[in-house]
Amino acid sequence: MTDLAPHELRILVAVDEEQSFTAAATRLGTSQSAVSHAVRACEGKLGAVLFARGRHGARPTEAGARAVAYARRILRLLDAMGPEVRGAGTDGPLTGTLRIAAFRSAAAHLLPAVLAGLAERHPGLATRVRIVREIGRGTAGEVADGRADLGLATLDADGPPPVPGLVAARLYEESYALAHPQGHPAPRELPLVDWDENCGSYTRDWWQRQDWIPPATVDVEDDTVALSLVAQGLGMAIMPRTALLGAPTGLAVTDLGPRPPSRFVGYVTTPELAGTAAVRALIRELREVRLPTGLAPAARPAAGQPSSSSSPSATASLSATASLSATASRSVRNSPASASRV
């Protein structure tokens, strides 16, 4: 028998999050020996060492991190199965919890109206929002690792989702602008206050063509800190429009010319969750919400191309559950499904 049982998946997740067999046992209300035995059984079934044991606890190996990601996603589908089955063929209010990952500016300026609309239609549906820096795997990584059902992510103009195996769709496009102290006669001559999340593949080419941008004199992790420094006269910054909404007093914003850099913002989710009622309801709100000033709705796919409006059915979602289970049981060395867009 090579299938992993739900209780084994929960043990893998608990060990990963607690980084200790003993702490995982306490969390699950079982013994440390039972956790250790279950992990060894999982390693035997999957044919890979999942955790490195040592004085500092248990740390997932590369194979273990992949196994835990599959475990979270499978457990999430098992949680969704009951509501999905009971709600089949009905349009009634939804219940349960919806997990969202978003970078700060999207969470601050887009999500409030979206969640208000969702709460009005589905008062029994709770939401949990996790703020994630859009660096590296960013919000897409939270979705791929099973920590979020849907992520608001920055998307390349033509490329696949930031993390393979996810489905993605654009929501809006935002341009970049120059933020500088009010009244400064030559803002482009000021020192650069840079922000860690600022230069992605969507701005890199434009950035390299600009001979007027100096090296950064201040580098910060948070966009609000960068803007506060600029408002105090410490330099200028090049920022996306959502980051400039609600800018502090003393800050001015100037366009970067007729062809400024821009980026797309959209959502990412997993193929198996894309057809669940709660995720479909959230996508509907994201599509219908009124965008803040300065943001342009992204063009929908052309006729004949895949679209997020044609989400997989609940049956397809349950089939994806079986597929994920089989994949995890065969080998955690296999990569997730190839990237796709909706």
Whether pLDDT at 1 is above 70? no
CA separation for the pair 15, 332 (Å, rounded) = 17
Which helix H or strand E contains 12, and what residues bound it? helix 6-18
Which has more confidence, 322 or 54? Answer: 54
Tens digits of residue pLDDT in 30-50: 999 999 999 999 999 999 999
Whole-model pTM: value is 0.83
* Burial of 136 per CB tally in 10 Å (0-12, 13-18, 19+): exposed
Instruction: Give the pLDDT band (50/70/90) at residue 183.
Output: very high
**Which region among 190-199, 218-227, 289-298 has the lowest average model confidence (pLDDT)?**
190-199
pLDDT tens digit string along 7-38? Answer: 999 999 999 999 999 999 999 999 999 999 99
Mean pLDDT of all residues belonging to the chain: 86
CA distance 191 to 185: 14
DSSP letters, 172-189, are EEEEEEEEEETT-S-GGG
- pLDDT at residue 301 above 50? yes
pLDDT tops 80 at residue 185: yes
Tokens representing residue 331 in the block = 């080998």
Helix (H, G, I), strand (E, B) or coil at 234: coil
Pairing, β 192-195 against β 167-181 = unpaired
Q: How far is CA 148 from CA 37, 76, 220, 267, in A?
A: 29, 9, 26, 12
Render pLDDT for 91-136 as a digit per residue (tens, 0 to 9): 788 988 999 999 999 999 999 999 999 999 999 999 999 999 998 8
Distance CA 76, CA 128 (A): 14
The secondary structure of 110-127 as a DSSP string is THHHHHHHHHHH-TTEEE
What is the band of 315 on the pLDDT scale with cuts at 50, 70, 90?
very low
Cα–Cα distances (Å) from 157 to 113, 252, 264, 265, 301, in that order, read: 26, 28, 7, 10, 13
Q: Residue 87: its pLDDT value, please?
A: 76
- pLDDT for 320 equals 41
What pLDDT, on the 0 to 100 scale, is given for residue 2?
73
